[in-house]
Amino acid sequence: MTMNLATLSPTRAPPAPRAWLGPQLRDDEFVVGLPADCLAELDAIVEEQRRAPVPTFILAPEHFEMSACRRWMAGIKQRLDHGLGFVILDRMPVGRWTQRELTDIYWLLGTLLEPPVAQDWPGTMIYDVRHDGRPYTGETRTALTPEGLDMHNDSSMGEAPPNYISLLCLNTAKSGGKSSLSSAYSARDHFAQEHPELLDRLYKPFYRHHQEYQAANAGKTNWYPIFGTEPDGGLRIRFNARVIRRGYAKTGQVLDNEGVQAVDIMDGFLGDPAHRHDFFMEPGQMQILNNRFIVHGRTPYVDHDEPEKRRHLLRLWLRAGDRRQFRG
């Protein structure tokens, strides 16, 4: 998937629901209960897997009766594309299903949105977001550490970022690990109103740090704009302030003054409590985000001592329209 630089335009106005401010949101606008008819279909799939299991990766919705789930997920997709851009599905029966069974169902529900794709160059399809207790460095993918995550969207420097990302919560931390979300449409409105002189700069490229999970021969410069326009006219953001700053540090290039201001103001806007929505995930809940225009972050956390209790989320990246490979 590539963005056509010729089509980039900062002028198109977004539909109102996509440009939200966190404190204005009510829980019932984004928390969606698991309908009883969907749960019955999912329980039947779990039963079938208990009778005659096959590996998670070959499970496909067309192999099962999932008509209620199909209708449900079609409505979820509408919310992701034309509503707030995120939902919390509440929730999978974590007490009744094993982790393997939860993973099977999670895979199938995700597939109903768009196909799961590899989340790193070696091809990890279901990503364990957790810290295994081992030491880490600045090169380590931050999702695998207990560090806080600044507001970003996934694969902001990548060749083929996912359209949607989802997280299934299996275990929560002893303390911390609060999730935050912000809307790129709101950020764009802010620039248009308060800093119009910087808006064009956001549509021009920035260097990005080439992180360790990219292909060894991926573009060394990772030269992408922060704002781009999708073929349907929608906004796509590629933002991670840390990755941009490291991109300049690593290449030895100097970020121009407008670029410095644009990144600082963007980072400040997205992370501001007056703009973002904060929440804690609970076991069994699934968070799904439209990665084109929802950015996310996380506070640092302190984990349980017992390995089996440690904070653990399962992540899927979903992307239709090209191949399942990390590089698209």
Q: Which stretch binds Fe ion (CB under 5 A): 67-75, 119-127, 152-160, 252-260?
A: 152-160
Which stretch in 102-110, 150-158, 173-181, 320-328 sits in contact with Fe ion by CB under 5 A? Answer: 150-158
Q: Which of the residues 39 through 58 are near Fe ion (CB under 5 A)? A: none
Pairing outcome for strands 179-183 and 294-298 = antiparallel
Interface stretch with Fe ion, choices 17-25, 123-131, 153-161, 283-291 (CB under 5 A): 153-161
Non-local (6+) Cβ contacts of 247 within 8 A are: 157, 206, 207, 208, 209, 210, 222
CA pair distance 252, 248, nearest whole angstrom? 6
Task: Report in angstroms how near the CB of residue 297 gets to Fe ion at its nearest.
Answer: 8
End-to-end C-alpha distance for the chain, whole angstroms: 6
Residue 104 vs 154, nearer CB to Fe ion: 154
Residues 157-176 contacting Fe ion, CB under 5 A: none
Closer to Fe ion by CB, 59 or 160: give it: 160
Burial bucket for residue 166 (CB in 10 Å: 0-12, 13-18, 19+): buried
**Residue 113 · residue 164 · CB < 8 Å:** yes
Residue 120 binds Fe ion, judged by CB under 5 A: no
Shortest Å distance, C-beta 245 to Fe ion: 17
CB-nearer residue toward Fe ion: 39 or 144: 144
* Distance (Å) of CA 201 to CA 84, 225, 231, 258: 26, 8, 21, 7
Instruction: Report the C-alpha gap between 196 and 103 in whole angstroms.
Output: 45
Helices 257-271 & 241-251 angle (0-180, nearest 10):
150
Neighbour count for residue 5 (Cβ, 10 Å): 13
DSSP, collapsed to helix, strand or coil, labels residue 241 as helix
152 Cβ neighbours under 8 A, 6+ residues apart: 239, 240, 241, 242, 243, 295, 296, 297
For the bound state, the minimum distance from the C-beta of residue 296 to Fe ion, rounded and expressed in Å, comes to 6
Task: Tell me which residue has its CB nearest to Fe ion.
Answer: 154
CB nearer Fe ion, residue 41 or residue 154: 154
Q: How far is the CB of 244 from Fe ion (least distance, A)?
A: 15
**Stretch touching Fe ion by CB under 5 A, among 148-156, 229-237, 264-272, 311-319:** 148-156
Q: Pairing state of beta strands 86-90 and 31-33?
A: parallel
State the nearest-atom distance from the C-beta of 152 to Fe ion, in Å. Answer: 6
Residue 114 CB, nearest distance to Fe ion (Å)? 17
The least CB distance from residue 273 to Fe ion, in Å, is: 19
190 vs 315, which CB is nearer to Fe ion? 315
Minimum CB distance to Fe ion, residue 159 (Å): 17
Closer by beta carbon to Fe ion, 73 or else 289? 289
Dihedral of CA 303/130/56/166: which sign?
positive
Instruction: Please identify, using beta-carbon distances, which residue of 259 and 297 lies nearer to Fe ion.
Output: 297
Query: Which residue's CB is nearer to Fe ion, number 154 or number 159?
Result: 154
Answer for which of 104, 120, 154, 159 binds Fe ion (CB under 5 A) is 154
Cβ–Cβ under 8 Å, residues 68 and 38: yes
Site residue total, Fe ion (CB under 5 A):
1
- Residues interacting with Fe ion, by CB under 5 A? 154
